[in-house]
Copies of this chain bind each other. A is one copy, B any other.
Amino acid sequence: MPKRAAVDKREAILAAALDLFSARAFDATPMPLIAERAGVGAGTIYRHFVSKEALGNAVFRDSKLALQRGLLERRRGGETPRQEFAAMWQGLWEFFQESPAAFRFLETHSHATYLDAASRATSDAVFVSITDFVRRGQAAGAIRLAPPAVLIALAFGAFIGLVKESDAGRFSLTAAVVTQAEALAWDMLRAR
């Protein structure tokens, strides 16, 4: 088992990298800056990650898993598809509030050339878990009969659009806005 201090440094490095990668581009972020932000020596990063790319992938996977947790943790079981969708939308919103850097990082780096197979597999796993929800909703007659991937792309894209445009200063992303948006997004998905 790794020492406490080592784990702390690793966490500090990941946190600093996430902060920086979400604010500037990956390629525009020098390793020494990450080290400084994390409060460690530049060489220390390489004791935990074999390369900058490996660090980028670790940040990506951590963020993706955090998103998955946020997305799924509010579901209770035994909910209607309508309720489940609301829970996921709220979960996304809470994830964004808890770690906006992670949310923005995922959105900006989803097609980054440095992502490796493991990172892509993590992305896929998250996607599959949502696909499952859509299929159940369709089977129950609550969600429209369109390819699940397309429905997810539209709904997820809508949420991301919300964050991006609020970042651009077009409006302020309040709980009220998010809740209203959820109702609209559900109108896009629900069977009629």
Distance A153 CA – B169 CA, assembled complex (angstroms): 12
Kindly report how many copies of this chain are found in the complex they form together. Answer: 4
Closest 5 CB pairs of A and B: A157-B161, A27-B27, A153-B165, A188-B188, A149-B170
Instruction: Determine, out of A3-11, A68-76, A79-87, A177-185, the stretch whose residues face the partner at the interface.
Output: A177-185
Chain B residues whose C-beta falls within 8 Å of the C-beta of A24 in the assembled complex: 113
Q: Which residues in A have some Cβ–Cβ distance to B below 8 Å?
A: 23-28, 104, 108, 110-113, 123, 127, 144, 146-147, 149-162, 164-168, 170-171, 177, 180-181, 184-185, 187-189, 192
Contacts of A188 in B (CB 8 A): 158, 184-185, 187-188
Contacting pair B113 A146 (CB below 8 A): no
What residue in chain B is nearest A120 (Cβ atoms)? B168
Determine whether the beta carbon of A150 is less than 8 Å from that of B167: no
Q: Which of B25, B26, B112, B158 contacts A154 (CB 8 A)?
A: B158
Q: Please indicate which of the listed interface residues A108, A152, A157, A158 has the most CB atoms of chain B within 10 Å of its own CB.
A: A157
Which residues on the B side are within 8 Å of A154 (C-beta)? 158, 161-162, 181, 184-185
Given A157-B161, A162-B157, A181 and B27 contact (CB-CB distance below 8 Å): no
Residues in B whose Cβ lies below 8 Å from that of A166: 153
